[in-house]
Amino acid sequence: MKSLTVLSALLAASVPAHAAKPCEELKTEIAAQIDANHVPSYTLEIVANDQVGDRQVVGSCDGGTKKIVYARGAAPKSADAASDAKPEAKK
């Protein structure tokens, strides 16, 4: 739980600085940070601002028009999310 809190703080601090970055580039950078924290399984998904809902936002991109949301655990089963999700880490 401590590593999740540290990860959340680290990623939340990076949100404003990366607002103008292309989404795929920022998503790759965030994935590298999460991997460095040895999170075994997670997904990152690029969504429009109005589709965030109650998910955890870890980045803002494309001039603030889209958000990158994080979920710990296996990838969702939907076809749209599967194209944006990071593959589950090997155990």
Torsion of CA 43, 49, 53, 58, to 10 degrees: 40
Residue 49 one-letter amino acid: N
Domains of the chain, by residue range, sit at 2-84
- Residue pair 71/24 in contact (Cβ under 8 Å)? The answer is no
pLDDT in tens, 12-35: 555 555 457 899 999 999 999 999
pLDDT in tens, 65-90: 999 999 998 665 554 544 455 544 44
Mean pLDDT of all residues in 35-60: 96
Overall pTM > 0.75 = no
Q: What's 54's DSSP letter?
A: T
Task: Please choose, from the candidates 54, 14, 20, the residue with its C-alpha nearest in 3D space to the C-alpha of residue 33.
Answer: 14
Q: What does residue 47 show for φ and ψ, rounded to 5 degrees?
A: -135, 160
